[in-house]
Amino acid sequence: MTRISSYLLPTEREAPADAEALSHKLMVRAGLVRQMGAGMWTWLPAGWRVHQKVVGIIRDEMNAIGANEMLMPVLQPADAWRKTGRYDIEELFKVTDRKGSDLVLAMTHEEAVTFHVAQLVRSWRDLPLILYHFQVKERDEPRPRAGVLRTREFVMKDSYSFDRDAAGMEERYALHVGAYERIMDRTGLRWYQVEGDVGMMGGVGAHEYMAPCAAGEDEVVLGEGYAANVEVARASEGVSEEHGVWTRAGQTLTVEPAIEIGNIFKLGTLYSEALGAFYADEQGKEQPIWMASYGLGPARIVAAAVEQFGDEYGIAWPRAIAPFGVELVALGRAGTPEREAADRLYETLLAGGVEVLYDDRDIGPGEKFADAELLGAPLRLTVGRRSLESGSAEVQIRRGRIEAAGVPLGASPDAQLRAVDELWRSLP
């Protein structure tokens, strides 16, 4: 039951004083998140619904390529990180337990997953393999900023592929590219894939998935048939920059800010050799396992959607990740004919499986409409005296704030649900 009168949805008229990014401002104002400390954010009920909508899309596409979901710990022994040479990374949280043992709070899980595969995979028959999980990551970020975009704790989907050779690694890499493209399209974001830098991950190649928006902290160089982050572009043959103008083979390139929402890396045998992940081939000879890793941030997808589709009134969610498909606004106090009509429509929507948020509060219509536009459900239905006179609930499509054909109040429940479904299918 999702009545606002009993739902934790603390909307605000003003944004936090330190908020600069649109997503930071709107996600706090819409009651989706609240800050506990620098880089530490709590997802409130409506915000968590959005986050988990994104998780569901990612999980669908990972399962579709044959990946196995699991869960690995955040708290890990430091030994594996020393073996891979990543223990001294400045952003890695390091702790000591009561016995004096060195531990880390993982910022990614290459060490953990390779540790397990080294124990469990013995033969070429055990490969290929794709493993993934959704897990909290910890990062000692020096400058947390922009709300949930740059934090010290966040949930990430990270998957890892294990193959017998480089050709197999390329096949699993290609499967992930296809899965990521479908994920991006399903979320409703504008996005592109760019060549990336392997950075602290190491390996032999990387790509990043970017969502263009003004709050993006990364810069992407774009041209016809070309897309790369600035670091890669500077090192690319044939690409030059002079006085801020980028060119490639005579073509002028553009540079725009974007949010990095995912990255994928061809690791090769870097981690498997460091952590002893080998297999016996058909001739019984020991060979290192070829690996790749694939990260994707649900929180960053959420923030990117707010950045791309927010307006002066609030959020305008893509329908695939909206916390609620419909917000029903009742005008009129309890016991009035208009409230009774709204109650009946709410019960019909619930029974029909519609994800509906019902504003049944005894406050003024202006405040209800402002909150509805702030939260950004794709459809808003309003039932008041005017609705009773016209015989239809009023409809607003949130994207563009467009008025649409009403939902007949006197029709059968099936007819009302069909009307809402037709409206839903017309949305972006």
For 323-367, how does the pLDDT look when each residue is reduced to its tens digit (9 = 90+)? 999 999 999 888 899 999 999 999 999 999 999 999 999 999 999
For 32-51, how does the pLDDT look when each residue is reduced to its tens digit (9 = 90+)? 999 999 999 999 999 999 99
Cα 215–chain centre separation: 16
CA distance 93 to 97: 13
* pLDDT for residue 237: 85
For 304-324, how does the pLDDT look when each residue is reduced to its tens digit (9 = 90+)? 999 999 999 999 999 999 999
CA distance 168 to 165: 5
For 153-168, how does the pLDDT look when each residue is reduced to its tens digit (9 = 90+)? 999 999 999 999 999 9
Q: Does the structure show a pLDDT above 70 at 400?
A: yes
Question: 8-309 architecture in CATH?
Answer: 2-Layer Sandwich (3.30)
Percent of the residues in the chain that have a pLDDT greater than 70, as a whole number = 98
Q: Does the structure show a pLDDT above 80 at 112?
A: yes
CATH topology of domain 326-425: Rossmann fold (3.40.50)
* pLDDT for residue 202: 56
Q: How many residues does the chain have?
A: 428
Task: pLDDT band for 236, please (50, 70, 90 cuts).
Answer: confident
For 56-72, b/e burial (b = at least 16 CB within 10 A) is ebbbebbeebebeeeeb
Q: Does the structure show a pLDDT above 80 at 200?
A: no
How far are the Cα atoms of 136, 143, 263, 286 from residue 161, in angstroms, in the given order?
20, 32, 14, 19
Percent of the residues in the chain that have a pLDDT greater than 90, as a whole number = 85
Task: pLDDT band for 210, please (50, 70, 90 cuts).
Answer: very high
Domain edges within the chain: 8-309, 326-425
User: What is the residue-averaged pLDDT of the chain?
Assistant: 94
Domains 8-309 and 326-425 share a fold: no
Mean of pLDDT values over 85-105:
96
Q: Does the structure show a pLDDT above 70 at 173?
A: yes
For 119-156, b/e burial (b = at least 16 CB within 10 A) is eebeebeebbbbbbbbbebbbebeebbbbbbbbbbbbb
- Return the minimum-mean-pLDDT range out of 128-132, 193-197, 250-254, 381-385: 193-197
Task: pLDDT band for 198, please (50, 70, 90 cuts).
Answer: low
Q: Does the structure show a pLDDT above 60 at 201?
A: no
Q: What sections of 247-378 are H helices per DSSP?
A: 270-275, 298-309, 337-351, 365-375
* pLDDT for residue 402: 95
